């Protein structure tokens, strides 16, 4: 696998024309790249930051149909998402898992109401159903959620949904696209959209963030898949463009596993303000979230608001016997959902904003995809490429991604975080066998090894220190302080692998220290 940035830049500079050029390296853009490349189109993807740097690495880590959306009557979205959930389990079993969820019930009426809804949820999944919802008595709930509040507990409901590692799936999508002939480049910013004399888009001007070099590329179709930044790209196309997206922030806090108990996840279906809250076991920790806060501004590194952190902790306190306090929080993070903005009505309520995706073709021929969710990335990619074929008058080729195994595909079970490497685990293990130092841990409390840094530098296109600590492994999200402690050792090894000097190391460490502040209280 030649998944290197130097090779990608060489292809970027030497290819006379692309069939499809994609702006944006999150879930949506990467899904489009896999679809387009696997159909045989000359495909380019450029990303201003790192792959999944934004919202796509800051999800609640759920592959799900969306129980909440079913309650809101969005049956079409749920039906589609449940099908896509099944396909993710099929195509990327190494990074996606069936997760048991328990809804504790403190009232008999609510228990029956939720059971009926979840039975419908099971039925909608059809042959791709991954488990069967059932009633639990009080003792069964306590066994599955040992830390749940028992006073007034009437029992509960168990149902099944999916969990995954979002940033790892993103890098696997990038690797898969390259294996099918695509060129994908991180840290490559689009600064200009090129047009022909008729005003039809036909290319891009891209700046390489590493070298500063400028590249003018030609493409038959341009796709804007930049998530919360779609309006910024649309303004390059049409300066008078009015915003399509209203960002909604989802905040999360990460605590030790002891606050929840076992392998089952907690689902709170009706919080004080009508939101759904999850407590999900993830990489040996528990992730609590999410919030749904409408914002007027978007940024690449949003920080959870104080009121969001308080809301999560207060809600957890209502359901857990010994709830976590602020001092127990290992990491905090937030992602901005690119929700399609309402044209009228109550703009302060994100409940009025569609969760489904929107596919738009501008007068210039620029294609924009916005909205949607991680679970439906593949379907979004398929629909976008179908429109690209018509727009660019490309030869028609059928979509192949419904049964396309992704890079790393493996059904073998491995302990701990090694699971998410899938078939890449064996070559990483062999690296550890070649040198004793490669098997050393990068932090005494976590099982991440030096060999993983080397692997990421050679085969996972890391450019910055945070690429590794935040997304190739997930240490920043799991334990912000531990990631800061590990940073000097990681930076030194990365510098050796990438051919960088001490000045690079010093700058990377400064940048990382500043970043970590946004993940700590």
What kind and span of H or E run contains 447? strand 446-449
CATH 1.10.8 residue ranges for the chain = 417-518
Nearest to 87 by CA among 31, 29, 20, 22: 31
CATH 3.30.9.10 residue ranges for the chain = 100-162+246-340
Cα separation, 254 vs 334, whole angstroms: 11
- Give the CA diameter of the chain: 72
Cα separation, 18 vs 183, whole angstroms: 10
Q: In Å, how far are 225, 234, 394, 473 from 360, measured between CA atoms?
A: 11, 11, 18, 35
Whether the Cβ atoms of residue 136 and residue 155 lie closer than 8 Å to each other: yes
What kind and span of H or E run contains 494? helix 480-498
Whether the Cβ atoms of residue 34 and residue 180 lie closer than 8 Å to each other: yes
Question: Helix-strand-coil percent breakdown of the chain, rounded to 5?
Answer: 45, 25, 35
DSSP codes joined into one string, 100-116 = EEEEEESSHHHHHHHHH
Per-residue pLDDT 10s for the chain (521 aa) are 689 999 999 999 999 999 999 999 999 999 999 999 999 999 999 999 999 999 999 999 999 988 877 777 778 888 999 999 999 999 999 999 999 999 999 987 778 888 898 999 999 999 888 999 999 999 999 999 999 999 999 999 999 999 999 999 999 999 999 999 999 999 999 999 999 999 999 999 999 999 999 999 999 999 999 999 999 999 999 999 998 888 999 999 999 999 998 899 999 988 876 778 999 999 999 999 999 898 888 899 999 999 999 999 999 999 999 999 999 999 999 999 887 665 554 444 444 455 678 999 999 999 999 988 999 999 999 999 999 999 999 999 999 999 999 999 999 999 999 999 999 999 999 999 999 999 999 999 999 999 999 999 999 999 999 999 999 999 999 999 999 999 999 999 999 999 999 999 999 999 999 999 999 99
CB atoms within 10 A of CB 8: 24
Whether the Cβ atoms of residue 31 and residue 396 lie closer than 8 Å to each other: no
CATH of 100-162+246-340, one of 3.30.9.10, 3.65.10.10, 3.40.50.1970, 3.30.1340.30: 3.30.9.10
Q: For 25-106, where are the E strands, in sequence order?
A: 43-46, 62-63, 96-105
Q: What is the dotted CATH code of the domain comprising 5-55+167-242+348-392?
A: 3.50.50.60
Q: What pLDDT score was predicted for residue 341?
A: 66
Whether the Cβ atoms of residue 353 and residue 341 lie closer than 8 Å to each other: yes
Q: What is the dotted CATH code of the domain comprising 417-518?
A: 1.10.8
Whether the Cβ atoms of residue 142 and residue 158 lie closer than 8 Å to each other: no
Residues with Cβ within 8 Å of residue 444, at least 6 apart in sequence: none
């Amino acid at each position: 696998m030649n998944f290197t940035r130097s090779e990608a830049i060489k292809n970027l500079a030497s290819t006379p024309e692309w069939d499809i050029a994609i702006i944006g390296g999150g879930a949506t853009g990467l899904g489009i790249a896999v679809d387009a490349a696997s159909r045989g189109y000359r495909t380019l993807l450029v990303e201003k930051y790192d792959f999944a740097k934004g919202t796509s690495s800051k999800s609640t880590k759920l592959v799900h149909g969306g129980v909440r959306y079913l309650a809101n009557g969005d049956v079409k979205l749920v039906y589609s998402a449940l099908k896509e959930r099944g396909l993710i389990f099929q195509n990327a079993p190494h990074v996606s898992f069936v997760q048991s969820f328990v809804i504790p019930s403190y009232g008999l009426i609510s228990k029956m109401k939720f059971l009926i809804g979840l039975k419908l949820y099971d039925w909608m999944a059809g042959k791709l159903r991954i488990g069967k919802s059932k009633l639990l008595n009080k003792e069964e709930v306590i066994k599955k959620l040992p830390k749940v509040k028992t006073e007034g507990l009437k029992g509960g409901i168990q149902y099944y949904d999916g969990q995954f590692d979002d940033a790892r799936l993103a890098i696997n999508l990038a690797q898969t696209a390259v294996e099918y002939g695509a060129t994908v480049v991180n840290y490559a910013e689009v600064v200009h959209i090129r047009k022909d004399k008729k005003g039809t888009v036909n290319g891009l001007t891209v700046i390489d963030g590493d070298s500063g070099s400028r590249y003018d590329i030609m493409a038959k179709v341009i796709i804007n898949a930049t998530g919360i930044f779609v309006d910024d790209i649309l303004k390059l196309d049409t300066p008078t463009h009015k915003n399509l997206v209203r960002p909604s922030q989802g905040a999360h806090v990460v605590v030790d596993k002891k606050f929840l108990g076992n392998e089952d996840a907690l689902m709170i279906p009706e919080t004080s303000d009508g939101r759904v809250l999850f407590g999900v076991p993830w990489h040996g920790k528990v992730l609590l979230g999410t919030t749904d806060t409408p914002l007027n501004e978007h940024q690449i590194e949003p920080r959870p608001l104080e009121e969001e952190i308080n809301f999560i902790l207060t809600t957890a306190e209502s359901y857990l016997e010994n709830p976590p306090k602020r001092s127990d929080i290992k990491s905090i993070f937030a992602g901005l959902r690119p929700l399609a903005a309402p044209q009228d009505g109550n703009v302060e309520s994100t409940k009025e904003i569609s969760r489904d995706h929107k596919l738009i073709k501008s007068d210039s021929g620029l294609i924009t995809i916005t909205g949607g969710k991680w679970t439906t990335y593949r379907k979004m990619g398929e629909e976008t490429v179908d429109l690209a074929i018509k727009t660019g008058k490309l030869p028609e080729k059928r979509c192949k991604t419904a049964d396309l195994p992704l890079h790393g595909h493996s059904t073998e079970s491995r302990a701990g975080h090694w699971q998410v490497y899938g078939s890449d685990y064996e070559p990483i293990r062999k690296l550890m066998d070649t040198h004793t130092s490669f098997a050393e841990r990068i932090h005494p409390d976590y099982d991440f090894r030096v060999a993983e840094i080397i692997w990421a530098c050679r085969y996972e296109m890391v450019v910055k220190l945070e690429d590794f600590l935040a997304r190739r492994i997930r240490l920043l999200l799991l334990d912000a302080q531990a990631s800061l402690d590990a940073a000097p050792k990681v930076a030194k090894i990365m510098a050796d692998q990438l051919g960088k000097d001490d000045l690079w190391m010093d700058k990377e460490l400064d940048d990382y220290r500043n970043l970590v502040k946004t993940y700590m209280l």
